[in-house]
Amino acid sequence: MILAISDAADPLWRRADVDFGGVRQQVSLACLPQALVGDRVLVHVGVALALVDDDTESPRAELEP
C-alpha cells in the first residue's frame, strides 16, 4: 500500500513509500502516474507496475482445492 508520494517536476521521477507487510520500501511511480496514497500496487524490481483491486480474488485461490 502506498503510504506517501514524493512528487517531482518530471513525472518519471515520482516515487512512493510503499508498505510490504511491515517493510517500507521506496519505489518508482513512472509507470503509474495515476497512483494515489492508499492505493495497492504490484511492484517488481522497485517499479510499481499496476494498481491492485482489493475486490478481485487472489490468483492463488484458483490453485487451492
Rounded to whole angstroms, the Cα distance separating 53 from 30 reads 19
Q: Say what the pLDDT of residue 63 is.
A: 45
Q: What is the model's pTM?
A: 0.77
Whole-number pLDDT of residue 41: 93
Residue with cell 504490484: 42
Query: ∠ CA(22), CA(28), CA(29), 5° rounding?
Result: 105
pLDDT in tens, 8-23: 888 889 999 999 989 9
